[in-house]
Amino acid sequence: MEICFATNNRNKIKEVWQLLMPDFSLLSLSDIGCHEELAETQNTLEGNSLQKAQYVYQQYRIPCFADDSGLEVEALNGAPGVYSARYAGDQRNDKDNIDLLLKNLKGIQNRRASFRTIITLIGIEKEPSIFEGQIQGKIITAPRGTNGFGYDPVFVPEGGDRTFAEMEMHEKNALSHRAKAVKKLVGYLKKINKR
């Protein structure tokens, strides 16, 4: 089954491709000829995920899914949340976002945080299907590790002592928020495939 992942983020595609193969052929936006930046104008992860998937399906008529992920920090009332990618501005720079997060948490003892991913799938059933993945953890005081992307260098999952950026991709994929949501998506797609 061919399915499009509605993102231009190569890191996300690499992560998800590992979880979907060999059962599905994963297409990127460039594979289907979509080169524009997809709008994210909603104020929830659910809204952004649906908005992106709907746009791609309406324009290209190929089954697709889109995700939106956010880092929700307890002491910051759930920020950066839906604005995680552009927390420090529209330049969407990982280092700038991390620097601002650490600045805003300076002197704060409570470092509890969670990563949340919402995936919306369109084009398989009449109604969109939604899958959620979440992982609890904490924000450390300085970045560690060179793997991953986004806030991975400062996020340590609950029960662990390494950041996502200190893990190999297969280790992160065993427990990350996105992996949990994608595994639900894959389980659903496999059931559909057997019909």
Domains of the chain: 2-194 (3.90.950.10)
SS (H, E, C) the chain: CEEEECCCCHHHHHHHHHHHCCCCEEECCHHHCCCCCCCCCCCCHHHHHHHHHHHHHHHHCCCEEEEEEEEEEHHHCCCEECCHHHCCCCCCCHHHHHHHHHHHCCCCCCCEEEEEEEEEEECCCCCCEEEEEEEEEEECCCCCCCCCCCCHHHEEECCCCCCHHHCCHHHHHCCCHHHHHHHHHHHHHHHHHHC
pLDDT tens digits for range 18-35:
777 777 888 999 999 999
Residues tagged active-site: 68
pLDDT tens digits for range 83-136:
999 999 988 999 999 999 999 999 999 999 999 999 999 999 999 999 999 999
